[in-house]
Structure 1
């Protein structure tokens, strides 16, 4: 059993000024320096969640929702057992530096804005015999709510805890660069945001005065369950609640009355309501559902209306999910509601019509920028594109603009069709994929870049998307072949089967990696194959970042299977690893992978060896 003395922590000063939140106080972590065996400061790129769509003008300003005051790196081995805890050093919003030990196949987990909780986890290890990643991360909980259940959004606001995890295993050696990123890790906020707006004909008869959030959860898990994560590990599909959570016997609520900007008195409450994840109860238990009770003046009479987070298509309650933004748009109020908020909570909503817009706010979500106008909304996947000097064609994520709106008859156009054009689209569709196509940068053009705009119009809603093409940046490409000329691609999976341990290390695969721009380094990462035990094949030369190849843009490798022992094959043997090759031109990144399998297949008695 691993002893507690093997857990190592190493402190690095943060370069972001004074820390104002107790969960990030430098004194919270009992830092010890014990990285024996060598160490190296490395760079980790961060993908931080976008700010929730509406700009904030109170103390929770436009950057507050993505603000990182402190970040800790939890290092696990390839078997997902905790090895080391180090503090990170924030260089800028997209870059982290941390000192990591010389070690192969490390899994990096980042925890932001929750140093106190990381310290508590570390302290618990002195008496704990549980070291696996899933169990340890489930212990990280956060409950920094005001006494009334609200999030602290006033001066000295509480930062949002975030979590992220590297998708590949990381190795650090004396040869590891101190300037080239070893990984890019996306971070996920642990809270949801709720805004309430009054629009359309409802504005004439109803004045919004307060909002109550019923059945909020008083604490949350910082790290979501991995089995409930999709995409690039940053989109949850179900809530993750603390193990000891129980539904209160009596309903709990928080009363919100803050209409300061960007809210609008009587019309909109924005940037005020933040909540931990909640589960969706059965439809037979509406008293257990997280819901809103909005209070306001209907024709000068104070009334209250219940608003449920409800899926009209599936006819089920919706959970509140982390990093999601919920906009409750009240479009019509036809009459008085209930006389008290308690009465409204206990009954179905009456005389009110509303819709709930929900979207995920992470860096890989489809829609990141949303604007509203009474009944209508317009959202786009990105507000800027940059391209290299080559032609851009086809349907790829890099030239995709996703448009979402409920306005019928919207339009999209390019301001310069001589070099920037758009694919056909359906103006009646509520969600549409529009692909950009660009002509090559003219060789005779002496300018360093050219710019155009994509204009999206949906009634009175307008969005402008910037498009820049650079003259001096080459397109990025990468391929793996069996020959130095790059004409014969190899299979992305190589399987070596052996029938005797004597021959277990006879699996050889030579190959060539070709990439452009040839001046860019070739980044190489080793990672696991889901559902298969990890095995580390040897390589000549070593599979590390290539900064200078003998032939520019071409590197030969030869990988060799591992020599195994008889005990390893006693119950069968099937292990694998995946090698990721990446290259970037500073704008785009391309990736290719090679999976290496090693399988023991016992020889049938009397059968010839193949």
Structure 2
């Protein structure tokens, strides 16, 4: 069942809200009788490290000023309409359009900031989706890209489109059609930059990518494009070129042609006491470690770190462009909302999961930032919007409105609202700076005014095996399976997750799907915000299902996957899909010891700083959760990288692994024992080390911990 049908049923039942005041004055060849309102998440503009006395941001990386909606029916192009009432605010853009009603499957292509390219390459009725994708292209010239960047998103409406109602579409995520190149030379004492430019860039940009989802693995270059564009030099004064060079995609070049045909970067710079700049070539993947020499992918950021310079370069950039590169190291990081920006200096690294923290309107609303660094002593300071700091560096900041705290292990920065936001319209906004070695990163705190109180969270489990949560809203209603009776109670209790709950939202809409090995569909998964692949035999959920649910997860930064890994015959295809191997999983028959808490600190979201421990009290260091029966699963050291541990298993001998953990970057919760959500006593059970009721009252440490895990998942879903 697709989004429109789901939204309609929820609206009739009083579960979701819509804006009945929608008015559209859209004009165009496809103007019709069905108003729609769309919300697109665009890749956020990055706030960079301090350059001189300024924090540099490039708002045009995410801004949208014009939109065209191309409509396909049963795979054939029909018409286009403009987007109107466009409101682009940071990484979130809303707009209106008016389409024609249809009882046939539809697909929408949303093209942003490229109206001229659409008009110049106008699709023809009956064109296929791929024909239209290949047709819409725009030129890239020697002056580079200086306007807002072309972006693309798509959306399917398999159930057709009915008139007479407002259709709200959310969850779309746009991809930029270009890549960005940054050059850093801040650690080289005998060299400073003077210019940066590209040689042999492609002359055409294909606005729409040809793959599916949001993960780009291969470039798309129009067949008539020529790799002959040499851009004019962009002046650089200092040691960084940040947000100055944006490029079309390019393909891998055969080894014999690398020197003269590969797209490359040429930097000008002053070596030691040179009075005139000389020039150096830099290649994409210069060591060819991944077999992609010269390849550039859209929506990626390429950071070239110059680590050493041992002599003057070529006298002119043209000579540098046809000779081999030297004296550089290249770090490549994805440039989208699913991956954090990382800073490198050749010795250390520092990255933070977001540049803006959005809290809801209630006091004690909390949001963690996740930090990836080898720098233990980074600090926090309040600042203004330009990054001018005030006060002393610290690990805990407190104002009248907010608290910002670095966790003891440095892996989290937790932001908490200390007041309700009672303002009629305005957000509460404050800023702080994270300082790590030479880097300073500006973070915005924004407390909304009740913006998510009506948003339902759709969570899917499967009617097979153990731990299914059942179905509580859409008929037929189903009470679920007993091993998750405590978890179900926590989720459906409006005092926990509701408009006036500890976590402010519309509540949980539990969806139940029938498992059918390698026959589950993308449309089925598309209805969910959170998918819990509960305890099911490998014969119920196969490798094709695993690939589809993994693609579902990667397609939006507002989705969470929960994976049961309780036994050797459970979720092996899915664990293989997401971890690459099951060699490091430990399946144990052990009941003598409980699961111990790890990472306890005042800044730990799950033990102290989360909404349920903010309200009901912190979890003590010596807490452990009971080990219910003879089986559970643990993730061993070989696969634990990137997973934040919450509960550790007893292991065997000196070895133990993660029973409950979260991969924040990939938005995956690993659930190593289905009985984490079970109220039954089992082995070792007492009144504190398990959920003790089915009605969702938060009465002990076990219920607080599990509720905080789910609060984190809801925060991902509702994050704007």
- Asked whether the two chains share a fold, i.e. TM above 0.5, the reply is yes
Residues 89-100 of structure 1: pairs in structure 2 closer than 5 A: 89-93=84-88, 94-100=93-99
Once the two structures are superposed, residues 49-101 of structure 1 have per-residue CA deviations (whole angstroms, 9 ceiling, x without a partner) of: 2225449999x984333332310111223x43323321111331121101122
8 Å Cα contact 2:72/2:107 also seen in 1? yes
Give the Cα–Cα distance (whole angstroms) in 1 for the partners of residues 429 and 330 of structure 2: 37
Give the Cα–Cα distance (whole angstroms) in 2 for the partners of residues 219 and 142 of structure 1: 6
Instruction: Point out where structure 2 has 5 or more consecutive residues left out of the alignment.
Output: 1-22, 381-394, 480-490, 528-551, 553-557, 560-710
Give the Cα–Cα distance (whole angstroms) in 2 for the partners of residues 82 and 117 of structure 1: 17
Q: Select 1:165's aligned residue among 150, 154, 166.
A: 154
Distance change >3 Å, CA 310–CA 533, structure 1 → 2: closer
Q: Give 1:423 shift.
A: 5.8
8 Å Cα contact 1:235/1:360 also seen in 2? no
8 Å Cα contact 1:373/1:460 also seen in 2? no
Quote the residue 2:179 is aligned against. 192
Is residue 347 of structure 1 aligned with residue 323 of structure 2? yes
8 Å Cα contact 1:366/1:402 also seen in 2? no
Quote the residue 2:284 is aligned against. 309
Q: Select 1:319's aligned residue among 280, 283, 295.
A: 295
Q: Give 1:387 shift.
A: 5.0
Distance change >3 Å, CA 311–CA 210, structure 1 → 2: closer
Distance change >3 Å, CA 211–CA 74, structure 1 → 2: same
8 Å Cα contact 1:89/1:98 also seen in 2? yes
Distance change >3 Å, CA 174–CA 511, structure 1 → 2: farther
Once the two structures are superposed, residues 151-180 of structure 1 have per-residue CA deviations (whole angstroms, 9 ceiling, x without a partner) of: 253xxxx332110112664753345236xx
8 Å Cα contact 2:48/2:57 also seen in 1? no
Q: Select 1:82's aligned residue among 77, 85, 92.
A: 77
Once the two structures are superposed, residues 317-340 of structure 1 have per-residue CA deviations (whole angstroms, 9 ceiling, x without a partner) of: 252221222232323211122344
8 Å Cα contact 2:197/2:245 also seen in 1? no
Quote the residue 1:461 is aligned against. 439
Give the Cα–Cα distance (whole angstroms) in 2 for the partners of residues 535 and 452 of structure 1: 41
Q: Select 1:490's aligned residue among 452, 460, 470.
A: 470
Give the Cα–Cα distance (whole angstroms) in 2 for the partners of residues 461 and 509 of structure 1: 55
Residues 298-447 of structure 1: pairs in structure 2 closer than 5 A: 298=271, 299-300=273-274, 302=276, 303-310=278-285, 312=287, 314=289, 316=291, 317-350=293-326, 353-362=327-336, 364-368=337-341, 378-382=350-354, 383-386=356-359, 401-405=369-373, 407=375, 410=378, 413-415=395-397, 425=409, 434=412, 436=414
Quote the residue 2:207 is aligned against. 222
Q: Select 1:151's aligned residue among 139, 144, 154.
A: 144
Partner SS state of residue 310, structure 1: coil
Q: Give 1:272 shift.
A: 3.2
Partner SS state of residue 285, structure 1: helix
Once the two structures are superposed, residues 22-48 of structure 1 have per-residue CA deviations (whole angstroms, 9 ceiling, x without a partner) of: xxxxxxxx943663xxx1222111212
Give the Cα–Cα distance (whole angstroms) in 2 for the partners of residues 172 and 304 of structure 1: 58
Q: Give 1:182 shift.
A: 2.4
Is residue 71 of structure 1 aligned with residue 53 of structure 2? no
Is residue 210 of structure 1 aligned with residue 183 of structure 2? no
Q: Give 1:13 shift.
A: 6.5
Distance change >3 Å, CA 447–CA 82, structure 1 → 2: closer
Q: Give 1:306 shift.
A: 1.8
Q: Give 1:361 shift.
A: 3.0
Residues 13-32 of structure 1: pairs in structure 2 closer than 5 A: 31-32=28-29
Distance change >3 Å, CA 341–CA 420, structure 1 → 2: closer
Give the Cα–Cα distance (whole angstroms) in 2 for the partners of residues 404 and 329 of structure 1: 19
TM-score for both structures, normalised by structure 1: 0.60
TM-score for both structures, normalised by structure 2: 0.51
Once the two structures are superposed, residues 375-423 of structure 1 have per-residue CA deviations (whole angstroms, 9 ceiling, x without a partner) of: 766332213142576989xxxxx95533244657656844369997666
8 Å Cα contact 1:480/1:511 also seen in 2? no
Give the Cα–Cα distance (whole angstroms) in 1 for the partners of residues 429 and 65 of structure 2: 36
Distance change >3 Å, CA 530–CA 43, structure 1 → 2: farther
Quote the residue 1:141 is aligned against. 137
Give the Cα–Cα distance (whole angstroms) in 2 for the partners of residues 530 and 243 of structure 1: 40
Farther-moved stretch of structure 1 (470-479 vs 380-389): 470-479
Partner SS state of residue 347, structure 1: coil
Distance change >3 Å, CA 103–CA 510, structure 1 → 2: farther
- Give the structure with the larger helix fraction: 2
Quote the residue 1:118 is aligned against. 118
8 Å Cα contact 1:306/1:347 also seen in 2? yes
Distance change >3 Å, CA 359–CA 400, structure 1 → 2: farther
Distance change >3 Å, CA 341–CA 166, structure 1 → 2: same
Give the Cα–Cα distance (whole angstroms) in 2 for the partners of residues 535 and 297 of structure 1: 54
Quote the residue 1:294 is aligned against. 267
The structure having more radius of gyration, on CA atoms, is: 1
8 Å Cα contact 1:377/1:461 also seen in 2? no
